[in-house]
Structure 1
């Protein structure tokens, strides 16, 4: 699961254009796998500011997150087929197709995201034939902002927090998870924090 880094783009306008193009590419990539017969597509990416991704801080969380997710899917007897990975304007990613029900995969993904400090650094997106499977399908609230605890999408859309505060918050999470340094990528070093929602997800 090697990931090749890309250089930083020259201007904010170029970065925005590249990010929009990458979103479209990801949608098309997932749709192609679904049209080829997969029941679901899973994409793992890093949940952290672009400034930290550019410093190469996403590689270890992605590798450990992949190991955790694959292990959880094996435990739940959910089939996964690794389809590749890479790096782009939205950061590094790994991709799987699956013959398992999308909602079951989302349940496993949320368990990984909510069960440890490492999970706070991961985005596991599930796409089925009817579109993306969100937390609402499991009657769960939106993901929380790591700074204020409000809905993260609202804070992100409003640019509610300074970049320096976001960097500091995610660096703290990286250190608590053990993913701020190279080492074992078998998913064992994940920190120890279990939010209350984990009991609802399991």
Structure 2
């Protein structure tokens, strides 16, 4: 990961142990990571802005709301920040549950700092990739939204029938002339900023709710 990406991302550290929180914050800061620490999941939820890129280093055994409970809350809110669990007493069932729910890793205390750093680096890369994908999806949704009802109808037919996209076939199916189909097809490609039906299909695959 580039230094620029690291500088834009933040390690959100949640641990109710003041000593661990201070030690990890200092160690990660020395390695040029941006760190924000919280003593509880409740405090984190009250202050966290999902628009901020980064990852969550999360103690499993927190008071009020434990790590797995916070993971579920974030999932319910559709917040996809990558999570690295750290625990001094979490067992196999807890680690399996966390990993099945999408955690990057589940580290048993004490752990070597370089292992945590490697996890954070991987989590940052994952977060950046997810954010880039969401930007692409948003762009696709906005472009599909510019289509008229007839253009969307033709686009949906081509997406659903990739081997049968000739204007004559589309016109027969929709009871319009092939020339009219050609006109709408040109407008669809222009509005979607693409050059072919294959690109239209690829674009639709990134946002399955469009058709």
Q: RCO (CA 8 Å, sep 6+): is it higher in 1 or 2?
A: 1
Flag the structure with higher helix content.
2
Structure number, greater radius of gyration: 2
TM-score normalised per structure 1: 0.27
